[in-house]
Amino acid sequence: MSRPVRVRFAPSPTGHLHVGSARTALFNWLFARHEGGAFVLRIEDTDLARSTVESERAVLDDLAWLGLAWDEGPDVGGAYGPYRQSERLEIYREHAERLLAEGKTFRCYCTDEELEEKRRLALTDGRIPQYDGACRGLSAAAEAALSSEGRRPTVRAHRPTRDVAVDDLVRGRVEFAREMLGDFIILRSDGRPTYNFAVVVDDALMEISHVVRAEEHLPNTMRQLLLYEALGLEPPSFAHVSLIVDKDRSKLSKRRGASSVAEFREQGFLSEALLNYLALLGWSHPDAKEIMSRDELVRAFDLARVSSSPAAFDEDKLAWINAHHIREEPIGRVAELARPYFEAEGVCEPDGERFEAIVDLVREGLERLSEIPYAAGFFFTDDPEVEDDARPWLESETGEAVLKGLLSTLEAEEGVLDQASVKRALKAVGEELGARGKDLYMPVRAALTGRIHGPSLALVAALLGRDRVLARLSRAAARR
């Protein structure tokens, strides 16, 4: 029963792409790429009040930014289109008509008020509210009479006559008792399909082989399996992926920091890093490898290694993975990604090579690209601000002597100031003054950068260049 692998990601365009949805998209994409199958993007926009074109655009942009290219979708087309549910209403109607004609569904003329009243009564009697089958088996004449009252019917599928079960690829066998479900609506009175009906018609017609989606959709699977049966169509395999929770095990919420792909992008997470981290939320490499490229993920991904326990979102770990990718990506790419953060601060370094060298120097200690204007800030100002903890090093007597000594040593040197000449000069000054370690380096670091932490001093000095180094040393030496 092996069919070609076709999976889909089916977002509802009602906001930004949340990391949980991005993880669902990623698992589908990895599975498709690993199996050489197709990754389909379908927009579930039948909720007209909440779906927006802007959100669809944002979701597509975020997926593209993550590098999760789709083979079929609303913008690229494909043989199974249209790929927006709002453009498939006629298809749902036809299938509903067929089910009606075959007696597998029926029209229900109950009004919302009537249903609400019955629901209230059931609750008062301590019964689980369920549709009571009032319109099941209506004669044509009765239907005509109700219709002439101006009632517009919904279409309902018959409740199950036996229990339903699914062998979920992540959760194992899941059983649904027949009592859980009454006759359920597949078409609303305005002719729009319910989520469960639209999904089944689409997944079937789009020949989706595997439905990989969030655990919260598991209860829908019962209705969906019944609809496959009614339609006489073969259901796909199902894989329900666990929830993503906060570190304290509560549902990942918007209140606690970033939760959308766009927010992480703005904070300077690389798409490789976010992708790498999301893959580890519920899946693990057989050798427990944690840092992986896109290609390695595709090679290693396997639904059999997706866990059925909730995955805890740990932003520290994401930052650790991001730091790794910031260090390892080609420097040209990192510099390019870092540029907008400088531009936003009004800092623009026109010299490409020097800019790259600066980014390369400071990227070592970064967890987010948004930290880079601060990390490299002292390169782009004539008079770096001296931070509080750096001040004592400039104000001490030894500090002043070191700065003056270094200034005169460097002034006496001919030619360009490079790493070697800086090291030579520092050594000479240290020997002359009997200053070593922090006593020697800290005043110089404080003078050149205004800080007590940072990358290699000789590299910093070489990148600042002779003029800036001399100006900073003399200004700092004169401070006391």
| Residues with catalytic roles | 254
Closer Cβ to ligand GLU, 8 or 339, answer by number: 8
Binding mask 20-59 for ligand GLU (x = CB under 6 A): ------------------------x---------------
Shortest separation between residue 199's beta carbon and ligand GLU, angstroms: 5
CB-based contacts of 120: which residues, under 8 Å, 6+ apart?
Answer: none
Cβ neighbours of 64 (radius 10 Å): 13
11 binds ligand GLU (CB under 6 A): yes
217 binds ligand GLU (CB under 6 A): yes
Please count the residues of this chain forming the interface with ligand GLU, following the rule CB under 6 A: 7
Closer Cβ to ligand GLU, 12 or 55, answer by number: 12
Stretch that binds ligand GLU, among 9-17, 64-72, 115-123, 135-143 (CB under 6 A): 9-17
213 binds ligand GLU (CB under 6 A): yes
Of the candidates 43, 63, 70, 60, the one whose C-alpha atom is nearest the C-alpha of residue 198 is 43
Closer Cβ to ligand GLU, 74 or 443, answer by number: 74
Cβ neighbours of 459 (radius 10 Å): 17
Please classify residue 24 by burial: count the beta carbons closer than 10 Å to its beta carbon, then call 0-12 exposed, 13-18 middle and 19+ buried: buried
Kindly state the tokens that stand for 193. 């399909």
Stretch that binds ligand GLU, among 7-15, 254-262, 414-422, 433-441 (CB under 6 A): 7-15
Region of 290 on the Ramachandran plot (φ > 0 left; ψ -120 to 50 alpha; else beta): alpha
What is the identity of the amino acid at 292?
M
Q: How far is CA 266 from CA 20, 100, 110, 257, 320, in A?
A: 18, 50, 50, 13, 17
Binding positions for ligand GLU, 281-320, rule CB under 6 A? none
Shortest separation between residue 255's beta carbon and ligand GLU, angstroms: 21
Helices (H), 261-412: 261-266, 271-279, 294-300, 315-328, 331-344, 352-362, 372-375, 391-395, 397-412
199 binds ligand GLU (CB under 6 A): yes
Shortest separation between residue 345's beta carbon and ligand GLU, angstroms: 37
Stretch that binds ligand GLU, among 8-16, 174-182, 251-259, 331-339 (CB under 6 A): 8-16
Angle between helices 457-464 and 352-362 (to 10 degrees): 160
Residues near ligand GLU (CB under 6 A): 10-12, 44, 199, 213, 217
